Amino acid sequence: MRIPPTVLLVIAVLTGTAGTLGYLAGSRQAALSETDVINAYAHRYVEEQGLAAGEIRRCHAVPGQADPIWLVVVCAEGSAAERAYFVGRNGALLHEGRAGDRPFSGPAAPEA
């Protein structure tokens, strides 16, 4: 049984397209830095609070403690306007709350 050349061409084009898209998606993921994430969420905080652009200095980041959390970007720590953004490795927001939140920790074990 012989495969027609047009079918082989379609398979080759689809394979090349899938490979190119996979490469581009991977290179964008690899280029994401901690600084990019901190700046993005600091600017988000400033916009949500209606502050001047220079107020991004009120934000800092700490490493995440639970497995899916890469960074916790904390803004205005210790004030009533405190906000913490729990961010995954791909830059996606996993949880928004306060710095002391433990969104992905399991329930406390019962005491014996």
pLDDT of residue 102: 82
pLDDT class for 106, splitting at 50, 70, 90?
Answer: low
Phi (first) and psi of residue 82, to 5 degrees = -60, 140
Q: What is the pLDDT of residues 1-43, one digit of tens each?
A: 788 889 889 999 999 999 988 888 777 666 789 999 999 999 9
Q: Which of 77, 85, 71 is CA-nearest to residue 34?
A: 71
Phi (first) and psi of residue 25, to 5 degrees = -65, -40
pLDDT of residue 79: 85
Phi (first) and psi of residue 48, to 5 degrees = -65, -35
pLDDT of residue 12: 92
Q: Which two tokens stand for residue 49?
A: 């609070």
Residue 88's identity, in one-letter code, is G
Mean of pLDDT values over 81-106: 87
Residue 107 reports pLDDT greater than 70? no
Residue 103's identity, in one-letter code, is P
pLDDT of residue 111: 66
pLDDT of residue 103: 80
